[in-house]
Amino acid sequence: MRIWTTSELPKPLAGYGAAAALPGAALLVWRISPVMHQNPFVLFVAAVIISARFFGFGPGVFSSVLSAVLIDYGVFHPHFAWSLSNKNFQELLIFLLVSVLASGLARQKSRAESRADQALQHVVAIVESSADAILSKNINGIITSWNPGAERLYGYRAQEIIGKHISILSPPEQQGEIPNLLEKLRRGGSVQPYMTERVRKDGTRVNVYLSISPIRNRRGEVVGASTIAQDLTSQQKAEEMLRKNEKLATAGRLAAAIAHEINNPLEAIGNLLYLARRDKSKSDEYLETAENEVQRVVNIAQQTLGLVRDAAAMAPLDVSNVLEEVVNLYTRKLNAKKIRLEKKFEPGVEIRGFSGELRQVFSNLIANAIEAMPEQGRLLLRVERSHEWTNSCRPGVHVTVADSGQGIAPQDVAHLFEPFFTSKKESGTGLGLWLTHNIVQKHGGTIRLRSSTSPGKSGTVFRLFLPKTTETPETAGSH
């Protein structure tokens, strides 16, 4: 159906022309239809209402005056002569009053309607041009509308999918979610936006972020639901690329530190082998020490592999061990800056996690701390078994990385975990803390930080909570 807006309504002149023609037509009908002879006013009032409704208040009033003239001249006795009797005059006056009133009301109604039409057209334009998929379904799950964004995302054209059941978009393993969701909405519940998987027409899967809201009728009853679906695939791919890049960058930074670490034992091995060859009596002793040095190199190599390769599933790990291994890789850097390292590790604190990823977290925090400190700073690392401080009180571990560096300006704190936020123009990518936050979240943990830039007592404390086990985050009900 075509929706007229006020701007598209016929021009005023045409409106007045029509307002003039309508009373003429009323007079004609009155003359040729004997049935209407008793009630000439009905025809004229109808003409006035039509004029006002479609052409505006001015043409409505014009039509009323013209009708009054035509009634006096053509309808009242004697026909086709002016009638000036008192009774007729009173009737005309009442007719005029009624028609002007009706004009006003008719105009008001058509204005309200055209405003509603305009608002509707705006909404239609927004929905049509939206990059997101917007669709609606009735309470039985039958699709009732489908915008071009939905065509692009799911591959179905509106004609082929309207009238079908919404479950056509759900993967086979999630078929139960839609009836449950509709039932929840029908009972007046709300649905939090959530991430899920959908199936395109060609059978490929797509990750989407869905916002679902109920559609109510005038009585407030839920008659369906509208869904806005955002395609997350490209966003997730970009984030995955960033994560991989940052992983490589961390590995690269560590490679330099590792080369230093390996250099030392290798030199020692060289010397010990030389001594063993020269002094046969002590060769066993020298070779044993050389073996220890080889073991050191092996350990370093394994830690490095742990950083770049990660297990496919979470496994039990000792947090103090992992932190110890990571900080060992920074020994040279700490020594070079004469940083005093203080370790308070509670032994045997186990959690389930990805050890490679947690190595990355600790490595990022320690690298940031070292970079923030001048010579002779102080780095404190603490691992303690404890409970989360929030209501949930989950058991787990608190890991503290505290430094006596320059601190973080209060206005920067809010941006620290955003990707690419860095104050190290030359050397930083600004991905370290963003990734750290990602990994901690993946482990179901939290990060808190305190920092001060006051001269003399500046420093930063990062405190992580990692739960003993990660409960699978509750999916947003059934959708």
Ligand X SMILES: Nc1ncnc2c1ncn2[C@@H]1O[C@H](COP(=O)(O)OP(=O)(O)OP(=O)(O)O)[C@@H](O)[C@H]1O
For binding to ligand X (CB under 6 A), which residues are involved? Answer: 364, 368-369, 372, 403, 405-408, 416, 421-424, 428-434, 460
Stretch that binds Mg ion, among 53-61, 73-81, 201-209, 360-368 (CB under 5 A): 360-368
Q: How far is the CB of 3 from ligand X (least distance, A)?
A: 52
Q: Which residue has the tokens 């032994």?
A: 347
Q: Which is nearer to ligand X, 192 or 423 (CB)?
A: 423
Which neighbouring-strand residues pair with 347?
none
Q: How far is the CB of 408 from ligand X (least distance, A)?
A: 4
For position 419 contacting Mg ion by CB under 5 A, the verdict is no
Stretch that binds Mg ion, among 298-306, 384-392, 429-437, 459-467 (CB under 5 A): 429-437
Q: Which is nearer to ligand X, 309 or 425 (CB)?
A: 425
CB 466 within 8 A of CB 397: yes
Q: How far is the CB of 434 from Mg ion (least distance, A)?
A: 10
Q: Which is nearer to ligand X, 209 or 421 (CB)?
A: 421
- What is the distance between the alpha carbons of residues 276 and 284, in angstroms, rounded to a whole number? 7
Site for Mg ion in 124-183 (CB under 5 A): none
Among the listed residues 170, 320, 355, 368, the single contact to Mg ion using CB under 5 A: 368
Q: Which of 59, 53, 43, 62 is nearest to 102 (CA)?
A: 53
Handedness of CA 10, 11, 12, 14 (dihedral sign): negative
With CB cut-offs between 5 and 8 Å by kind, which of Mg ion, ligand X, none does residue 422 bind? ligand X
With CB cut-offs between 5 and 8 Å by kind, which of ligand X, Mg ion, none does residue 244 bind? none
Binding residues with Mg ion: total (CB under 5 A) = 2
Q: Which is nearer to ligand X, 344 or 424 (CB)?
A: 424
Q: Which is nearer to Mg ion, 92 or 358 (CB)?
A: 358
Q: How far is the CB of 409 from ligand X (least distance, A)?
A: 8
Residue 327 token pair: 């900080």
**Secondary structure (H, E, C), the chain:** CCCCCHHHCCCHHHHHHHHHHHHHHHHHHHHHCHHHHHCHHHHHHHHHHHHHHHHCHHHHHHHHHHHHHHHHHHHCCCCCCCCCCHHHHHHHHHHHHHHHHHHHHHHHHHHHHHHHHHHHHHHHHHHHHCCCEEEEEECCCEEEEECHHHHHHHCCCHHHHCCCEHHHHCCHHHCCHHHHHHHHHHCCCCCCCEEEEEECCCCCEEEEEEEEEEEECCCCCEEEEEEEEEECHHHHHHHHHHHHHHHHHHHHHHHHHHHHHHHHHHHHHHHHHHHHHHCHHHHHHHHHHHHHHHHHHHHHHHHHHHHHCCCCCCEEEEHHHHHHHHHHCCHHHHHHCCCEEEEEECCCCEEEECHHHHHHHHHHHHHHHHHHCCCCCEEEEEEEEEECCCCCCCEEEEEEEEECCCCCCHHHHCCCCCCCCCCCCCCCCCCHHHHHHHHHHHCCCEEEEEEECCCCCCEEEEEEEEECCCCCCCCCCCC
Q: Which of 165, 156, 167 is nearest to 133 (CA)?
A: 156
Q: How far is the CB of 321 from ligand X (least distance, A)?
A: 23
Q: Which is nearer to ligand X, 93 or 255 (CB)?
A: 255
With CB cut-offs between 5 and 8 Å by kind, which of Mg ion, ligand X, none does residue 460 bind? ligand X
Stretch that binds Mg ion, among 177-185, 228-236, 427-435, 449-457 (CB under 5 A): 427-435
With CB cut-offs between 5 and 8 Å by kind, which of Mg ion, ligand X, none does residue 148 bind? none
Q: How far is the CB of 433 from ligand X (least distance, A)?
A: 3
Q: How far is the CB of 114 from ligand X (least distance, A)?
A: 55
CA dihedral 323, 326, 331, 337 (to 10 degrees): -80
With CB cut-offs between 5 and 8 Å by kind, which of ligand X, Mg ion, none does residue 431 bind? ligand X
Q: How far is the CB of 121 from ligand X (least distance, A)?
A: 47
Q: How far is the CB of 341 from ligand X (least distance, A)?
A: 15
With CB cut-offs between 5 and 8 Å by kind, which of Mg ion, ligand X, none does residue 404 bind? none
With CB cut-offs between 5 and 8 Å by kind, which of ligand X, Mg ion, none does residue 405 bind? ligand X
Site for Mg ion in 287-346 (CB under 5 A): none
Stretch that binds Mg ion, among 23-31, 290-298, 366-374, 397-405 (CB under 5 A): 366-374
- What is the distance between the alpha carbons of residues 321 and 83, in angstroms, rounded to a whole number? 112
With CB cut-offs between 5 and 8 Å by kind, which of Mg ion, ligand X, none does residue 396 bind? none
Among the listed residues 149, 214, 419, 432, the single contact to Mg ion using CB under 5 A: 432
Q: Which is nearer to Mg ion, 258 or 401 (CB)?
A: 401
Q: How far is the CB of 399 from ligand X (least distance, A)?
A: 14
With CB cut-offs between 5 and 8 Å by kind, which of ligand X, Mg ion, none does residue 211 bind? none
Binding residues for Mg ion, rule: CB under 5 A, are 368, 432
